[in-house]
Amino acid sequence: MIKYLKNDEIDTSKWDQCINKSFNGNPYALSWFLDLMHEGWNGLVENDYERVMPLTSGKKFGIPYLFQPYFAQQLGVFSTSKLSPEIVNSFIVAIPSLYKFVDIKLNSFNRPNLKNINLIPNKNHLLDLINDYPRIAEKYSGQTKRNLKKSTKSSLSLMKNIKPETVIDLFRENRGKTLGKWGDAQYNKLKQLMYSTVFKGKGIVYGVFTERNELCAGAFFLKSNNKLIFLFSGSNPVARANAAMTFLIDAVIKELSPSQLVLDFEGSNDPNLARFYKGFGAKEIEYFGLKMNRMNFPAKQMFSIYQRIKNR
């Protein structure tokens, strides 16, 4: 039996136990991560937390809807036992009717086959670190190997445990200027997440410095549930010229292999980024976005127009 539980009704200890025992568990679905990224989240729970599904909601035009929180790539249904399309279907059907619009990301093990839902394919890239570094590095692409040679000639150095805000500032001053959707609220959430995970021993922040000791690239990794997630990074034009990000990722692979960890690159649908991740030998994995519009006309039309404008 699947039950809808509000935030204060959820046993977070049992919830986290389910996520950690799930064959498809990930840190985005843990209660502490959800508390940070989407305070007041609710959930669907089957039996005694055998399977769970986080529900992260908001309101637009006074209409309750479900959306994906920032910095949580994949949510959906998590299970400590088998997980068939029919089981995933049953959770989607159990989403309370009060949520008139659903726009969320499922995890790669969720394959619903219901009618009247819209599934949008997304790409992720994973690299198993079970082999030792030489075996992993020999499978690097020619371009990745050339970039490593370039970074070596640039006399770069790597520093671990730099301050989170230095990487955030690097991003804001460069690529962040092109992202109109990100504001102080999102950056503050990110900073809080980075400091919280570092405090828990689950977050690692790396920085790459030039021979003049100037930061040119940085990255934040989340280490949890047998995954090392490349969650956030920042770089400037100098880093693109000296291949600093290739240098950084290669150094992390060298440091943490061999291990039971899987390096999760968190994307990407962008062909250039996908090529960059595949250059390290990462395998492409598909996961789906789920969209449902359960509103009546004309509210359905108005919300569809809003979504198109928002996604331009």
Give the pLDDT confidence score for residue 227 in this predicted structure: 96
From its phi and psi, is residue 62 left (phi > 0), alpha (psi between -120 and 50) or beta? left
Looking at the chain, the domain(s) classified CATH 3.40.630.30 span 2-122+286-310, 130-260
Give the pLDDT confidence score for residue 96 in this predicted structure: 97
Instruction: Report the interhelical angle of 142-153 vs 244-256 (nearest 10°).
Output: 100
Q: What is the CATH T-level fold of the domain 2-122+286-310, as seen in this structure? A: Aminopeptidase (3.40.630)
Q: Are 193 and 37 in contact (CB under 8 A)?
A: yes
Nearest CA among 201, 287, 216 for reference residue 248: 216
Low-confidence ranges of the chain (pLDDT < 50): none
Q: What is the CATH T-level fold of the domain 130-260, as seen in this structure? A: Aminopeptidase (3.40.630)
Give the pLDDT confidence score for residue 14 in this predicted structure: 98
Lookup: tokens for 209: 């410095």
Give the pLDDT confidence score for residue 176 in this predicted structure: 82
Give the pLDDT confidence score for residue 304 in this predicted structure: 59
Give the pLDDT confidence score for residue 8 in this predicted structure: 97
